[in-house]
Chain A
Amino acid sequence: MIWLTWRQMRAQTLWTAAVLAAAAAYILYLAWDIRDAYRTLVTECTTECDQAAHYLNDEFGMPLTLLGLLLLAGLAVFGAFWGAPLITRELEAGTHRLAWTQSITRTRWLTVKLAVAGGAGVVLAGSVTLLLTWAVSPLDDLADSRFHPIEFVTRNAAPFGYAVLAFTLGLAIGALARRTLAAMAVTLLAFLGLQLVMGGYVRPLYAEPVTETVTMADANTVGLIDGLALDDSGATVMGYTIPGAWVISDEMPVRMADGSAFTGDDADDCRAANVPPDECMSQKDAAFDVVYQPADRYWRFQWTEVAIALGLSAILTGAAYWRIRRGIN
């Protein structure tokens, strides 16, 4: 059965390996390029060293985001092209009636197919993401934004979980839909939809976020204020960045450290003042509350994400087994 599975997927494996080899070559080139720029701008830096992160981001931000999105799309495509046709192609050609009447149970048939095709696919996809993780690590370290939605799912352990999920999603949808093209399309959409749901609604729930009061005086040492809005009713911090952490709040009303209100009059004072508004506000002893997931929760979040992906995969695989054991003619 292992032989048959391999014989059936030989062509697609070679194709996939060729595409991935090209991707790996590009990532290696990028890794070399990144390290070259990093050496010039950071290690051997002489002037404007604090701007290095900006320069690097300008140069590599775009290809990096694209690579991340491509990797996600690649996982979806893996599910659609490897997972979905695994059963449907047999059903469409009618060859399941040949395979299922050999001296091998359907359970075993599916198990071997799953293990060989899924295993090979996950190893291939996983090695590319590990290569990517390594290639861009100097920039990731510098940017310190590991919770960024794309960065989070395309580095370290999460892509392995998602590779398994994409594959089993395709498998289960294929077993239920029984038609290759429909199953592929649904798999693509379902996987990308799942990504949005996980990032937007599920991931924030892994741990109770921390709420911390940051005084204006400390604001730019703890993290970085992205923007400040002052108006007649008071002031609001528009976005706040803490290195390595995942800041949940996006608009944080400013108040006095003792709890009293930062009024419109206070805001007027600061607008009229000659000093930058954040300096004026720290003189007035203003503060704001920020809700965030601390940086040291990264691995906890990664493994939770992997566990959820694997749990869903187990359910989907169970559905596929259930479907083929019931029999399809």
Chain B
Amino acid sequence: MNTPVIATNALTKRYGPHAALTDVTLDIPAGRIVGLVGPNGAGKSTLLALAAGLIRPTSGTVEVLGNRPAADAEQLARVGFVAQDTPVYAQLTVADHLKLGEKLNPRWDPGLAEERLRQTGLDPAKKAGRLSGGQRAQLALTLAAAKRPELLIFDEPVAALDPLARRSFLQSLMEFVADMDVSVVLSSHLIADVERVCDHLVILAESRVQVAGEIDDLTAAHHRIVGPRGSLDELPAGVQVIAAEHTPRQSTLVVHDTTGGRLDLPGAEPIGLEDMVLTYLHRAEGPAAPILQETAR
């Protein structure tokens, strides 16, 4: 489990003149539940589609579990992917979908599929087109899970779900991950969800990675410092300013201490995950940008 699940190097994807992903260099370690957060249009779906091999990069490289994404059937078998809006074949029944999974995946686990079907109460005879959003997401999760992948990728799995369905989907996701040896990458624009299920975080905004790391490390290394104006002009080496706000009398900084040690500055206090994420998103949008509604819950 030492190979990173996703490793990118200067990964760039353009659609015509529009850059969906710019110069992304990332190493996502194995055995984690990784949250990929950022506003809509930040490039989350593009990054995940590149990892799933649905699209090819414009430049740079991406490796998943040490190989080129979707390189061959064996590589495809190692990665489970649940696309945004959890597409399923509307004309096929739930049972048809399991049969599809069984026929198209050599490592298919029928026991797991049936067990999950029973837990979620999906009717095998029901056409997938008649399922609710939550049920469809459960079906898509079942399909991806019973494939027995080493890495599961979810693109906004809960975005379209109501709060109740979202909770139960994340619940079953966590139970399932606890049961098997699998790494997970999921994207979301809801920081609360990420905080609940993830232990590793990648913040993506304006097509670039803002920061990435273990959530505990990140929250420990980010601080808000309030001090008299001018007292914070000189900071120790390795301490980066993410945001700065000045009034005539005092300055407020949000800093990232990359030294790994303890930040020993007067007036420094820990910053919560949500505030940290918002600071990065705000920085990416430019100083004049308002804080996004969806992330400002």
Report A's interface with B, CB cutoff 8 A.
1, 3-4, 7-8, 11, 93-98, 100-106, 108, 326-329
Contacts and interface: CB of A to CB of B under 8 A. Distances in A.
Contacts of A106: 70
A94 B104 contact: no
A102 B99 CA distance: 12
A103 B147 contact: yes
A174 B106 CA distance: 30
Given A3-B103, A94-B84, A326-B55, 19 more contacts: A1-B103, A4-B103, A4-B104, A8-B89, A95-B87, A95-B88, A97-B54, A97-B81, A97-B83, A100-B52, A100-B70, A101-B52, A101-B53, A101-B83, A102-B76, A102-B101, A105-B72, A105-B76, A329-B46
A95 B129 CA distance: 12
Q: Top 5 A-B pairs ranked by shortest CB distance?
A: A94-B87, A103-B77, A97-B83, A101-B81, A102-B104
Given A11-B91, A103-B107, A104-B76, A98 B55 contact: no
A103 B275 CA distance: 40
Contacts of A101: 52-54, 70, 76, 79-81, 83, 144
A105 B70 contact: yes
Contacts of B144: 101
A93 B90 contact: yes
B88 to A, nearest CB: 7
B85 interface: yes
B67 to A, nearest CB: 13
Contacts of B92: 7-8
A101 B155 CA distance: 13
Nearest to B89: A95
Given A94-B87, A102-B104, A329 B147 contact: no
Contacts of A108: 73
A218 B147 CA distance: 80
B91 A327 contact: no
B104 A1 contact: yes
Interface centre among B84, B89, B91, B107 (most CB of A within 10 A): B89
A98 B73 contact: no
Contacts of B91: 8, 11
Contacts of B88: 95, 98
Contacts, number: 90
Contacts of B104: 1, 4, 102-104
Interface string B86-114: 01111110001001110111110000000
B271 to A, nearest CB: 35
A104 B73 CA distance: 5
A328 B76 contact: no
A7 B96 contact: yes
Interface in B31-56: 45-46, 49, 52-56
A190 to B, nearest CB: 26
Nearest to A98: B87
A327 B100 CA distance: 22
Contacts of A329: 45-46, 49, 54-55
A326 B77 CA distance: 20
B89 A94 contact: no
A102 B107 CA distance: 11
Contacts of A11: 91
A328 B70 CA distance: 13
Given A95-B89, A108-B73, A103 B106 contact: yes
Contacts of A328: 54-55
B185 interface: no
5 contacts: A4-B103, A93-B90, A94-B87, A103-B77, A329-B45
Contacts of A97: 49, 52, 54, 81, 83, 87
B182 to A, nearest CB: 15
A82 B143 CA distance: 28
A104 B106 CA distance: 10
A313 B46 CA distance: 33
B140 interface: yes
Contacts of A100: 52-54, 70
A97 B88 CA distance: 9
Contacts of A96: 54
Interface in B133-178: 140, 143-144, 147
Contacts of B81: 97, 101
Nearest to B144: A101
A103 B101 CA distance: 9
A102 B87 CA distance: 13
Given A104-B104, A329-B54, A93 B87 contact: yes
A86 to B, nearest CB: 14
B207 to A, nearest CB: 15
Contacts of B101: 102
B156 to A, nearest CB: 12
A93 B85 CA distance: 10
A225 to B, nearest CB: 61
Contact of B56 (A7, A98, A105, A327): A327
